[in-house]
Amino acid sequence: MYGKIPYMKYELPTAGSRLELRINERDKAYVSRAAELQGEAVSSFARSVLVSEAKRIVEAEASATLGAAESRRFLKALERPFAPNAALRKAMAKGDKLGL
């Protein structure tokens, strides 16, 4: 039953990477209390919250939300035929010469 604790929601990760941080006593008390309320060890709680927030930030950065006017402008731009400018034509020609 290694890695399984009956009150935990999931198995403990077996990854070997470590992340250490220092926090003040007041913040540690909040984290400890929150972990206790969730029925988790402090390290498991901190890891799940940290990873969850990191994923939220990365996913938010990977997507964009457009307003109505921006959406219309974007769709109109997609409908126009592609016409490369001089700099892009030069770069494409150089890419062709390099076999890219």
| Angle in degrees, CA 23, 27, 30, rounded to 5 | 140
The model's confidence at residue 55, banded by pLDDT at 50, 70 and 90, is: very high
Q: Which of 45, 59, 46 is nearest to 7 (CA)?
A: 45
Pair of tokens at residue 26: 């007041």
36-45 LR contacts (CB < 8 Å, sep 24+) = 39/7, 39/8, 39/9, 40/8, 40/9, 41/5, 41/8, 44/8, 44/12
Domain ranges of the chain: 25-98
The per-residue pLDDT for 19 is: 87
**Is it the case that residue 96 has pLDDT exceeding 50?**
yes
The per-residue pLDDT for 8 is: 55
Weakest-pLDDT range from 6-10, 42-46, 73-77, 92-96: 6-10
Residues constituting the chain: 100
The model's confidence at residue 1, banded by pLDDT at 50, 70 and 90, is: very low
